[in-house]
């Protein structure tokens, strides 16, 4: 074998897995179709939820991201029609971090390439899977016991391996821009507006910039058809306690997309093949989960399989362990797919939100859920539902 593991795609998931495998003493080929090491994803809001904090710390990425200008957001204020939900400082929910992909992707590539055992091979697009390996567009054949698809939502590896895809619709579209000098009026270090069904955000984006984004339901697409920027500005201007863009300077064009369906594939679809990041689960961008899932699924795969790859023992049980760990993402993705339908919130959601406005115990659980820091049961359980209902009844007596 040329390598212990071949990773296809040198972005968040691929670089994270390559770094972890390299540090575990394995020989890694990290293949990227782009030639330029500065290449990066543009369609990404790069707000990385607090649930990823521990993995980023453990890998040593957190400090390096800070050194490159990342912004940390400890507490988000959430606007609901029942009032603002504000987190208490020191409530134990880890902070979010944000670094633009133009900096993040090259940084992760540098870290991976500097890790002993990792060969970063730019300009190598995988076009074929063969027994124990891959063939690239340059005609190079590489072999390893494990091929990892870290190649994003259209995953070539998954297609070549014949992995079935499960698609679900996304009934919102989204646009955002970066600004200098935004004055936030809402509480917290950044804000989310749950306008039901529309959503909006205003969050620090690193390097002193603020990302202001809107996620309207598709019923409003026509409003954005002619003058997208004017529609965006008027949407932001109408946000309750929204950011003031009056004295701010917009430093980018509007970035966004009018359709981004959810896609899911088995993360361990066949012997010798694993999928991580978007290749396994491409979620709705609205809850900002994808980068975190990419870091975390890559770390879980490396943890599960590095030992058997090093020792030459059976990979099957390790891949099954990885699939089990990945269920954490699957459970949240089930919920995310329902939210992506842009339907009005159900009675339970309304009750919990309304209670969280006045009850810090429920607000903390809502924050841990939103940060994907604990399993969904941190919020969705009978005790929280009962307490929220009592609080709701007291408020509406
Ligand atoms: C509009 C939008 C906004 C988003 N905002 C957020 C956000 O705020 N927060 C958040 O956490 N997530 C966000 N996401 C999701 C996030 O961008 C993705 O989840 C994340 O990029 C997934 O990382 P990845 O490494 O799995 O895949 P990608 O970043 O897509 O990387 C795949 C890599 O594989 C390479 N590749 C592809 N095919 C091949 C091939 N055949 N051979 C070799 N290389 C190949 C590509 O060039 C690329 O480098 C957003 C997504 C969208 C669409």
**How confident is the model at residue 393, as a pLDDT?**
85
**How confident is the model at residue 397, as a pLDDT?**
75
Q: Which of 43, 98, 151 to mutate to test the pocket of ligand 1 (most atoms within 8 A of CB)?
A: 151
Atom of ligand 1 nearest to the CA of 41: 29
Atom of ligand 1 nearest to the CA of 174: 1
State which residues of the chain have pLDDT below 70. Answer: 1
Q: Which of 8, 10, 11, 53 to mutate to test the pocket of ligand 1 (most atoms within 8 A of CB)?
A: 11
Q: Which pair of structure tokens corresponds to residue 213?
A: 């984004």
**Whether the Cβ atoms of residue 210 and residue 179 lie closer than 8 Å to each other:** yes
**How confident is the model at residue 308, as a pLDDT?**
98
323 lines ligand 1 (CB under 6 A): no
pLDDT in tens, 275-285: 999 999 999 99
**How confident is the model at residue 15, as a pLDDT?**
99
State in Å: Cα 16 to ligand 1 middle.
13
State in Å: Cα 215 to ligand 1 middle.
19
Other Cβ atoms closer than 10 A to 358:
15
State in Å: Cα 226 to ligand 1 middle.
29
Q: For residues 279, 283, 286 and 291, what is the CA-based torsion angle, rounded to 10 degrees?
A: -40
**How confident is the model at residue 361, as a pLDDT?**
96
337 lines ligand 1 (CB under 6 A): no
All domains of the chain, ordered by start, with CATH? 5-46+100-168+261-339 (3.50.50.60), 174-257 (3.30.9.100), 347-395 (no CATH)
């Amino acid at each position: 074998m040329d390598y212990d593991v071949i990773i296809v795609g040198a972005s968040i998931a691929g670089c994270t897995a390559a770094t972890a495998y390299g540090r575990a003493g394995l020989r890694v080929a990290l293949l990227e179709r782009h030639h330029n090491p500065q290449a990066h994803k543009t369609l990404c809001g790069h707000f990385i939820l607090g649930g990823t904090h521990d993995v980023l710390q453990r890998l040593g990425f957190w400090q390096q991201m800070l050194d490159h200008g990342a912004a940390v957001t400890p507490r988000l204020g959430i606007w609901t029609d029942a009032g603002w939900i504000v987190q208490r400082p020191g409530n134990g929910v880890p902070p979010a971090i944000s670094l633009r992909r133009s900096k993040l992707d090259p940084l992760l590539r540098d870290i991976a390439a500097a890790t002993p055992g990792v060969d970063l091979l730019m300009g190598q697009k995988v076009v074929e899977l063969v027994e124990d390996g891959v063939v690239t567009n340059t005609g190079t054949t590489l072999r390893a016991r494990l091929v990892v698809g870290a190649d994003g939502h259209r995953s070539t590896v998954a297609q070549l391996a014949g992995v079935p895809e499960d698609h679900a619709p996304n009934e919102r579209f989204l646009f955002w821009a970066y600004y200098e000098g935004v004055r936030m009026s809402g509480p917290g270090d950044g804000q989310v507006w749950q306008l039901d069904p529309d959503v909006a955000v205003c969050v620090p984006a690193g390097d002193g910039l603020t990302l202001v984004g809107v996620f309207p339901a598709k019923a409003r697409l026509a409003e954005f058809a002619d003058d997208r920027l004017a529609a965006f500005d008027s949407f932001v201007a109408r946000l309750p306690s929204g950011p003031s863009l009056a004295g701010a300077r917009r430093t980018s064009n509007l970035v966004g997309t009018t359709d981004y369906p959810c896609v899911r594939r088995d993360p361990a679809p066949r012997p010798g093949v694993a999928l991580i990041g978007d290749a396994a689960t491409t979620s709705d961008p609205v809850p900002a989960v994808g980068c975190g899932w990419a870091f975390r699924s890559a770390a879980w795969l490396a943890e599960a399989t590095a030992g058997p790859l090093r020792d030459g023992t059976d990979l099957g049980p390790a891949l099954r362990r990885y699939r089990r760990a990945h269920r954490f993402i699957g459970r949240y993705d089930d919920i995310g797919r329902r939210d992506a339908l842009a339907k009005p919130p159900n009675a339970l959601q309304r009750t919990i939100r309304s209670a969280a406005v006045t009850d810090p115990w429920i607000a903390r659980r809502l924050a841990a859920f939103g940060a994907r820091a604990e399993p969904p049961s941190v919020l969705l359980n009978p005790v929280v539902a009962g307490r929220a209902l009592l609080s709701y009844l007291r408020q509406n007596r």
